[in-house]
Structure 1
């Protein structure tokens, strides 16, 4: 098998290519000597470093991105039956947490071009029970936070940003750039290995984006079993914390984050340049959005050809992925709980035509060229 036809994954952690970096070898060895695996110094260091990078008030590291969403919703002291508006297309972690708390997910459609909230539909979906707007910044492209915040202010609603796929991207609000996840009162992210800033296991964080000690203290208590101080539990909480080892890993990769973001942008730009003449392929907006760090390079293909393209790539040893094959309101687990006050046309159609191609910082030049060559070959031969 030639190098070109080796398996090209949808994602590959950098460490699998480079081995354990010397800097991490030293810091993790020291950690092993100390034995401080829970709430070690590196966790606080990472929280502070990430807050500084984001130019936000506080960061609270937790066990994973889903816990971050759950804790953020719990901190708002909502009542059962209160409504949270979120997109119908995307990973359902937010909808899942909304349902677990006895709240009602209100689903609105996404824009065909950006995969994100349609602000027009957002306003139409608001009811007297609406308390929260929860946008997802899908595939790395931030939602239209300027419009979303204006609507939230108009109706006095809280906004929680799900920035699990968009860390490093910028939003422009009131003419100023803000990091994705830091525009609203609260932001959440994931450090799942394939995210823009990935750990070697699970991890997540909550961003408190305003000077609100009460909210910050409440979140700190919630993620620590509802303890105000050790063994004194003042509220219902949960147990969610970032392991010290993962904090060491994240501190290291945060120091290299800018370079890795630029690699993602370069790979996406190369795809866009190479595929620009393929009329059968609808490309993402990578080249049109400033400071957009793609987590996934997601194209749209006519639904009668999408599966054939994926199968063709697979035979070439190239992985691709359909994110996401079923909208949230069609999922058996959530369908009984959701409210769908508006038409979800795009959310219904996108699962049949989206396809994500490999796009990750450790991707080699020959790997990308193999993907580009295979995609072009498919469309060339399918026209014969």
Structure 2
């Protein structure tokens, strides 16, 4: 039985009519940038998350870069983050000229170990970026407490955690700024790249909106005035059609980016958002099934807080024989993923930072043992049972 790690074709088969209708509507409407679907999606995300501002951008990496720039983080600054995550988290820090400082993770939930953060703070530290890894909320109470005590910003990397809740509060609303990704494999994914920045701070939102569009236009002027303490009201022309021609976009105030959430992607996300909670609940059902059925003697399973709602972007198991297990899964045509084979502090690109093997033992331990098995909400009962029976009957 061939089972992919994520069956996007199966998902599309039942969304096809709605997806094609919205794409057709967009193409016929002629508004391909900053159109009604984008505005609708941003508004819906504000309502869904319970946040004041949701700003669509080109991808999750851009969201992180723009968030850092918005907070004024750059050359000479340090930002504390996790070594056990996708490269973009640290890459964004490096792109703005700052230095990533890695703090080890916890073996139970793979999130940054909040008890080790304060030891990593120096006079150059400006922010903490906790990653809600695999859809598991980090310990935001403690992280925010440390940040407040040390006058630091907090940026949530929620790229894998759309819909997750920390103590009944939505991930993406628990910090100064949060970042999401809508890469196709995410729990809410488009058919290409897409991202989102969320914040409850009006000034941060204005700067983000300016930076994502070349630092131009009304948002660029507002951001410029705020950053330069200019008390001058910016006139807003509500009659301008921003989808085709806006004369104000030729007046630039900040060095920014070309990072907009395209209208087609916004339309697709508007369709998929209708199903997000259903899909996340299904992932939880599958995870509980795995928790109950997987052989504890062969596989170490995720240990997560019962106070939080995990959205299981990935279901991770640990084994001492990952290479052998990978070969067996390949032979059986059962999809899997190795997340992450090299922790960020040991990546060659960060050799200059001076980390060596043994510095962050938990991240290194996990990088040799973790493996993701399908937790796709499209999994059938037969496929779930097949995966469990196969894993439990393996001799490793």
Residue equivalent to 2:95:
100
TM-score by length of 2: 0.89
Residue equivalent to 1:216:
205
Q: 362-371 or 163-172, which moves further after superposition?
A: 362-371
The CA deviation string for residues 293-345 of structure 1, in whole angstroms up to 9 with x for no partner, is 1100001111xx111111111111101111000010111112324779x9411
Please, which of 185, 189, 193 is the counterpart of residue 198 of structure 1? 189
Please, which of 86, 89, 102 is the counterpart of residue 91 of structure 1? 86
Question: Where do residues 22-61 of structure 1 align in structure 2 (5 Å cutoff)?
Answer: 22-61=17-56
**Aligned equivalents of 1:51, 1:236: Cα separation in 2:** 27
SS in 2 for 1:21: helix
**Aligned equivalents of 2:293, 2:307: Cα separation in 1:** 18
Matched, 1:149 2:144: yes
Does the aligned pair in 2 maintain the 1:99–1:334 contact within 8 Å? Answer: no
Residue equivalent to 2:124:
129
**Aligned equivalents of 2:280, 2:11: Cα separation in 1:** 19
Please, which of 236, 260, 282 is the counterpart of residue 263 of structure 1? 282
Residue equivalent to 2:245:
none
Task: Report the count of equivalent residues.
Answer: 365
SS in 1 for 2:7: coil
Residue equivalent to 1:318:
334
**Aligned equivalents of 2:381, 2:371: Cα separation in 1:** 21
Q: 278-287 or 257-266, which moves further after superposition?
A: 278-287
**Aligned equivalents of 1:265, 1:16: Cα separation in 2:** 17
TM superposition shift of 1:235:
0.9
**Aligned equivalents of 1:310, 1:48: Cα separation in 2:** 43
SS in 2 for 1:81: coil
Does the aligned pair in 1 maintain the 2:11–2:378 contact within 8 Å? Answer: no
Structure 2 regions of 5+ residues with no counterpart? Answer: 221-247
Residue equivalent to 2:383:
367
**Aligned equivalents of 2:44, 2:119: Cα separation in 1:** 39
**Aligned equivalents of 1:335, 1:343: Cα separation in 2:** 13
Q: 361-370 or 163-172, which moves further after superposition?
A: 361-370
**Aligned equivalents of 1:20, 1:348: Cα separation in 2:** 40
Residue equivalent to 1:242:
261
**Aligned equivalents of 1:255, 1:161: Cα separation in 2:** 24
**Aligned equivalents of 1:338, 1:190: Cα separation in 2:** 30
Residue equivalent to 1:251:
270
Does the aligned pair in 1 maintain the 2:179–2:196 contact within 8 Å? Answer: yes
SS in 2 for 1:281: coil
* C-alpha spacing 1:367/1:287, structure 2 compared with 1 (3 Å): farther
TM superposition shift of 1:15:
5.2
Matched, 1:298 2:326: no
Does the aligned pair in 2 maintain the 1:106–1:339 contact within 8 Å? Answer: no
**Aligned equivalents of 2:11, 2:49: Cα separation in 1:** 28
